[in-house]
């Protein structure tokens, strides 16, 4: 009974999506999508534009309520759980449009990522009681070591986010998600708009996060190099349906996938 | 803009005053503030007290609008709740000021919690109109709940006293008001630099992303309303001891608008800006009064134009600042600092 | 008919008819919002200036009422255009609080200027409407309520139809809905904004003159503007028909409260506060009002 639990959890699914259907008015964004994600893995979600990839991520984050289906995280049904509660459970997220808080510095943006983990009440922070002071300084230390050093952005900490290049903003977006100490990271196009060097850096960070911190990663990407290199499994969406699921090699050969991307002739 | 700022520990980087220079300036400012009542005349002292109360109230409004992005047109109502609570406790139950003022703040805080509830479902313009309704409703309660509030006649309050030492001169009131105001400016600064301040700004900038990243929107917005109205309530309580009387006419919609103007002219979201805004918006009408007083010598009816002129100037300041200087006096100050930090070199 | 029933009917009828005035004032808000998504806190002051323009035309130019009305409306149209060009256009796209505050600032400027130009003295229009009250059996409707009600209904019909069926009206609605799309369709956005504010100012001027006829003119005339918020919220910020419905309902509720609740309280009247309580309830239960269009949050 005191045996190490590590072996079991390695093959467990940390996230599973079953029969997810989402529509806006009459428009179906997702139809009966299934996906299970193994703890500690990197899973890719790809598909043509408008396939529903971000909608799927939004359902997992809690921003959208699906009309049908279920989202299970770490054994618990979270389909109806509010987004901020899911964050508290360990669901981290980056955004396609970066979505940083323009009125705050990089440091504050990243610290905000840890909001759900902090305990200081509003009165104690206003009075800056010894307890509040301890928590704030501990947060600073944690964020510096675990996030700023890791992502090599220490020199940016007091800059306003508006003054950063797009690539750096995306890194800060990731930093904010990491500050939460997430169990799972949902990345929405983490290397979009990046040059080769930035892409390699980001890919390396993602791998390090998964290996060193045992964080499960689910990423949406259009950069096939990144997807094929990093992901152990890939789900392909097209027009709201999952048309394929498998290893990179299987996906590359799948006729459905080829048809979705390149049209009928290529298949 | 700090040049050559080198910190050796995270703790010192997190401090409010990070360089010796800023610490010295703050020390000098405090010294000047302490010496002020000994050199200033009665009228200046009265103005200083007025500004102290307004600056405190406006800071609360800035926390709600500037930090958190929630619009409130009913700030004066919360000042009124605090003022009336303080006055009732003081005059009917003989509660001393160091209890009645915080109690006023607490009751105003509760009122803020109630008024903040609509923020769960409505935002922006609609929320603004809801707070406008709150202003009207509270004013009506102040005027008509005669048994409790004294109706139109209002309530009279004896001067605050602490162990026999009565606060019955403007100079003594000054120390009370300034101490409380400075303390609350410190609280607001602490707030901005810690967990909840960040949550407020996140809700203002991108509430959708904030929620996904872990911020409970409703709880955060309600807290913002509560903190904001607490500040207003304290300001109202101080006001009561300052003027020794409270009537429903003291907290009209125009006071809410005045606070809004202060926050906007000073700079939304800027704590220092609130001070600049308060001083500016208080001194400009005074300047106008002095000018028309002088003009009376050549133009006898000048004084009758004072009030409408104040209205026009007030409105013009708001419109001009919004069009040309939307980030307020705080930004003007920052620009000057940036310019002088490199002067005589440019850029 | 029993006395109680007559009392009730009288309250209802008075309420409906007072509601007409509210609806007329509310139109000023709705026209601006419908076309530009801006809530004009200076609507009351536009009304007040319209009334003064009309009064000046009559007293200084010795013009007959009809001419004075036209002069006032024309002057208001110019004022609206100037306001849009100088004050509102620079703030296009800014956050809501800024736009709200700029109209509040404008209100202060107008009010102050009016007092400087015309002084704070109370002025009156000569009697335009017939004096005799309307009698419906046991019910009496004072003329100063009835004729404004007719004007309100007429104006609402006119403006409502214009928005619905004229090309400009449709263009205005399109612009308010989605500026980019309207622009893409070839609509001259700047001209639409200009026209919208002119129209709003003209509507307000008519409302101001009507209110001025009933209750006299002074720089304080604009105060009725804020009292009309419950009406626009209940009716729906962008619904012209809603302004009429909202006005009537608020007018009736006010009167019923005054008639039945006030006697139970000694000395106080709930008439002023009831509309605002209704406003709060509306916002909690149905924020877009009875006829307003639901705004979809763009993600």
Domain assignment of residue B4, yes or no: no
The Cα–Cα gap between B270 and B277 comes to 10
Contacts B326 to C, Cβ<8 Å:
94, 98
Structural domain for A142, as ranges = 100-181
Rg (CA), chain B: 21
Q: What is the pLDDT of residue C298?
A: 41
**In the listed set A126, A152, A181, which residue is the last one of a domain according to the structure?**
A181
The Cα–Cα gap between B80 and B62 comes to 18
Same structural domain for residues A85 and A104?
Answer: no
Of A103, C182, C175, C110, the closest CA to residue B69 belongs to A103
Q: Provide the number of CB pairs (under 8 Å) joining chain B to chain C.
A: 129
Interchain contact, B14 vs A61, CB within 8 Å: no
Same structural domain for residues A84 and A27?
Answer: yes
- CATH number at B130 reads 1.10.3470
Contacts B197 to A, Cβ<8 Å:
125
What is the residue-level pLDDT of chain B in tens, covering all 347 positions?
455 667 777 887 778 877 888 888 888 988 988 888 888 888 999 999 999 999 999 999 999 999 999 999 999 999 999 999 999 999 989 899 999 999 999 999 999 999 999 888 888 889 999 999 999 999 999 999 988 888 888 898 888 887 777 887 888 889 999 999 999 999 999 999 999 999 999 999 999 999 999 999 999 999 999 999 999 999 999 999 989 899 999 999 999 999 999 999 999 999 999 999 999 999 999 999 888 888 877 877 777 788 899 999 999 999 999 999 999 999 999 998 888 877 777 65
Interchain contact, A137 vs B11, CB within 8 Å: yes
Domain assignment of residue B12, yes or no: no
Same structural domain for residues A236 and A157?
Answer: no
Domain assignment of residue B20, yes or no: no
- B299-303, C115-119, C172-176, C262-266: segment of lowest average pLDDT: B299-303
Interchain contact, A135 vs B196, CB within 8 Å: no
Q: Residue A216 belongs to what H/E stretch?
A: strand A216-220
Domain assignment of residue C38, yes or no: yes
| Numbered residues of chain A with Cβ closer than 8 Å to any chain B Cβ | 61-63, 82-84, 87-88, 93, 95, 99-104, 108, 111-113, 115-116, 118, 120, 122, 125-128, 132, 135-137, 140-141, 144, 176-177, 180
Same structural domain for residues A74 and A140?
Answer: no
- CATH number at A235 reads 3.40.50.300
Interchain contact, A126 vs B188, CB within 8 Å: yes
* C54, C74 contact by CB (below 8 A): no
Instruction: Give the minimum alpha-carbon distance from A86 to chain B in angstroms, rounded to a whole number.
Output: 8
Interchain contact, A144 vs B10, CB within 8 Å: yes
Q: What is the pLDDT of residue A264?
A: 55
Same structural domain for residues A193 and A168?
Answer: no
Structural domain for B337, as ranges = 39-342
Contacts B11 to A, Cβ<8 Å:
137
Residue A1 burial (CB < 10 Å; 0-12/13-18/19+)?
exposed
ipTM: 0.91
Q: Residue A91 belongs to what H/E stretch?
A: strand A91-93
| Phi, psi of A36, deg, nearest 5 | -125, 140
> Cβ of B175: how many Cβ atoms within 10 Å?
13
Pairing of strands A241-246, A233-238: antiparallel
Residues in chain A, pLDDT under 50: 1, 3-9, 265-267
Enumerate residues 6+ apart whose C-beta is below 8 A from C25: C43, C44, C47, C204, C207, C211, C224, C225, C228, C231
Say how many domains are in chain C.
1
In this complex, the chains that touch C, judged by 3 or more CB pairs closer than 8 A, are B
| Numbered residues of chain B with Cβ closer than 8 Å to any chain C Cβ | 65, 69, 71, 73, 118, 121-122, 124-126, 128-130, 132-134, 136-137, 140, 144, 146, 208, 253, 257, 260-261, 264, 268, 305, 307-319, 322-323, 326
Domain assignment of residue B18, yes or no: no
Residue C274 pLDDT > 60: yes
**Residue B147 C-alpha from the chain's centroid:** 30
Contacts A120 to B, Cβ<8 Å:
194-196
Q: What is the pLDDT of residue B37?
A: 86
* Side-chain half-sphere exposure of B43, counting CA atoms within 13 A: 3
**What confidence tier does C296 reach under pLDDT thresholds 50, 70, 90?**
low
Same structural domain for residues A188 and A177?
Answer: no
Interchain contact, B194 vs A128, CB within 8 Å: yes
Structural domain for C112, as ranges = 8-133+140-225
Say how many domains are in chain B.
1
Same structural domain for residues A34 and A150?
Answer: no
Report the percent of chain B where pLDDT is more than 90. 64
Residue with the bigger pLDDT between C93 and C285: it is C285
Domain assignment of residue B10, yes or no: no
Q: What is the pLDDT of residue C174?
A: 82
Domain assignment of residue B215, yes or no: yes
- C54-63, C64-73, C176-185: segment of lowest average pLDDT: C176-185
Q: What is the pLDDT of residue B3?
A: 59
Hey, which residues does A219 pair with through a beta bridge?
A44, A187
Same structural domain for residues A113 and A215?
Answer: no
Of A79, C8, C108, the closest CA to residue B254 belongs to C108
Say how many domains are in chain A.
2
Nearest to A88 among B205, B214, B223 (CB): B214
Q: Residue A82 belongs to what H/E stretch?
A: none
**In the listed set A162, A181, A200, which residue is the last one of a domain according to the structure?**
A181
Share the mean pLDDT of chain A. Answer: 91
Residue C248 pLDDT > 50: yes
**In the listed set A155, A181, A207, which residue is the last one of a domain according to the structure?**
A181
Domain assignment of residue C292, yes or no: no
Same structural domain for residues A155 and A224?
Answer: no
Domain assignment of residue A123, yes or no: yes
């Amino acid at each position: 009974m005191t045996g190490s639990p590590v072996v079991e959890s390695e093959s467990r699914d940390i996230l599973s999506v079953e029969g997810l259907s989402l529509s806006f008015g009459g428009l179906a964004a997702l139809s009966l999508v299934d996906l299970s994600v193994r703890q500690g893995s990197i899973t890719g979600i790809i598909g043509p534009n408008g396939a529903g990839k971000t909608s799927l991520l939004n359902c997992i984050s809690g921003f959208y309520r699906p009309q049908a289906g279920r989202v299970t995280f770490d054994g618990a049904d979270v389909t109806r759980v509010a987004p901020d509660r899911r964050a508290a459970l360990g669901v981290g997220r980056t955004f396609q449009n970066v979505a940083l808080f323009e009125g705050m510095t990089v440091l504050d943006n990243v610290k905000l990522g840890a909001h759900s983990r902090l305990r200081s009440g509003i009165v104690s922070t206003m009075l800056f009681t010894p307890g509040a002071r301890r928590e704030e300084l501990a947060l600073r230390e944690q964020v510096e070591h675990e996030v700023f050093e890791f992502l090599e952005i220490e020199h940016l900490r007091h800059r306003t986010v508006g003054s950063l290049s797009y690539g750096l903003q995306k890194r800060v977006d990731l930093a904010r998600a990491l500050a939460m100490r997430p169990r799972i990271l949902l990345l929405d196009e983490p290397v979009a708009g990046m040059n080769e060097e930035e892409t390699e850096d980001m890919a390396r960070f993602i791998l390090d996060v998964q290996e060193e911190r045992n964080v499960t990663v689910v990423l949406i990407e259009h950069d096939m190099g990144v997807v094929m290199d990093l992901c152990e499994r890939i789900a392909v969406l097209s027009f709201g349906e999952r048309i394929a699921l498998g290893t990179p090699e299987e996906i590359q050969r799948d006729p459905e996938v080829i048809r979705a991307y390149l049209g009928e002739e290529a298949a | 803009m700090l040049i050559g700022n080198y910190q050796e520990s995270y703790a010192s980087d997190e401090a409010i005053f990070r360089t010796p220079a800023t610490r010295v300036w703050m020390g000098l400012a405090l010294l000047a503030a302490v010496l002020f009542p000994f050199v200033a005349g009665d009228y200046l002292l009265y103005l200083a007290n007025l500004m102290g109360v307004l600056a405190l109230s406006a800071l609360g409004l800035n926390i709600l609008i500037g930090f958190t992005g929630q619009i409130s047109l009913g700030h004066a109502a919360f000042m009124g709740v605090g003022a009336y609570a303080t006055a009732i406790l003081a005059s009917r139950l003989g509660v001393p000021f160091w209890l009645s003022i915080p109690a006023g703040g607490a009751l105003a805080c509760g009122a803020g919690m109630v008024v903040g509830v609509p923020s769960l479902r409505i935002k922006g313009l609609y929320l603004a109109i809801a707070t406008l309704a709150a202003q009207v409703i509270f004013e009506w309660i102040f005027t008509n709940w005669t048994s409790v509030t004294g109706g139109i006649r209002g309530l009279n309050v004896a001067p605050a006293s602490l162990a026999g030492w009565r606060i019955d001169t403007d100079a003594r009131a000054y120390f009370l008001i300034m101490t409380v105001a400075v303390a609350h400016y410190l609280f607001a600064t602490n707030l901005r630099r810690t967990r909840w301040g960040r949550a407020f700004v996140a809700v203002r900038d991108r509430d959708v992303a904030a929620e996904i990243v872990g911020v409970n929107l409703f709880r955060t917005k309600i807290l913002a309303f509560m903190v904001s109205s607490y500040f207003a309530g304290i300001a109202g309580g101080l006001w009561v001891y300052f003027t020794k009387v409270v009537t429903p006419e003291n907290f009209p919609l125009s006071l809410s608008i005045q606070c809004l103007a202060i926050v906007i002219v000073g700079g939304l979201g800027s704590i220092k800006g609130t001070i600049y805004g308060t001083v500016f918006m208080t001194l400009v009408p005074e300047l106008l009064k002095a000018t028309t007083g002088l003009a009376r010598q050549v133009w006898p009816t000048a004084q009758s134009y004072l009030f409408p002129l104040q209205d026009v100037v007030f409105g013009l300041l708001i419109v001009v600042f919004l069009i040309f200087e939307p980030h307020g006096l705080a930004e003007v100050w920052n620009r000057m600092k940036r310019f002088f930090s490199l002067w005589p070199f440019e850029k | 008919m029993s006395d109680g029933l007559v009392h009730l009917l009288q309250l209802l009828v008075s309420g409906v008819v007072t509601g007409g005035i509210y609806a007329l004032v509310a139109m000023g808000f709705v026209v601006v919002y419908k076309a530009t998504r801006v809530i004009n806190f200076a609507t009351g002051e536009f009304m007040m200036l319209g009334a003064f323009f009309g009064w000046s035309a009559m007293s200084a130019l010795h013009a007959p009422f009809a001419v004075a009305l036209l002069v006032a409306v024309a002057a208001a149209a110019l004022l609206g255009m100037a306001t849009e060009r100088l004050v509102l256009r620079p703030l296009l796209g800014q956050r809501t609080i800024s736009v709200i505050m700029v109209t509040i600032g404008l209100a202060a400027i107008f009010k102050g200027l009016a007092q400087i130009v015309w002084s704070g003295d109370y002025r009156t229009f000569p009697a335009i409407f017939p004096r005799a009250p309307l009698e419906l059996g046991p019910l009496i409707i004072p003329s100063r309520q009835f004729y404004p009600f007719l004007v309100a209904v007429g104006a609402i019909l006119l403006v409502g139809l214009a928005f619905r069926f004229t090309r400009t009206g449709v263009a205005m609605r399109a612009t308010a809905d989605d500026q980019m799309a309207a622009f893409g369709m070839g609509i001259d956005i700047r001209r639409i904004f200009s026209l919208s504010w002119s129209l709003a100012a003209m509507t307000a001027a008519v409302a101001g003159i009507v209110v001025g006829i009933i209750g006299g003119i002074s720089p304080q005339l604009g105060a009725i503007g804020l009292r009309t918020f419950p009406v626009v919220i209940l009716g729906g910020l962008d619904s012209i028909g809603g302004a009429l419905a909202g006005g009537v309902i608020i007018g009736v509720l006010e009167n019923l409260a005054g008639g039945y609740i006030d006697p139970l309280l000694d000395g106080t009247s709930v008439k002023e506060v009831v509309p605002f309580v209704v406003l709060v309830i509306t916002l909690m239960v149905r924020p877009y009002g009875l006829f307003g269009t639901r705004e979809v949050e763009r993600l």
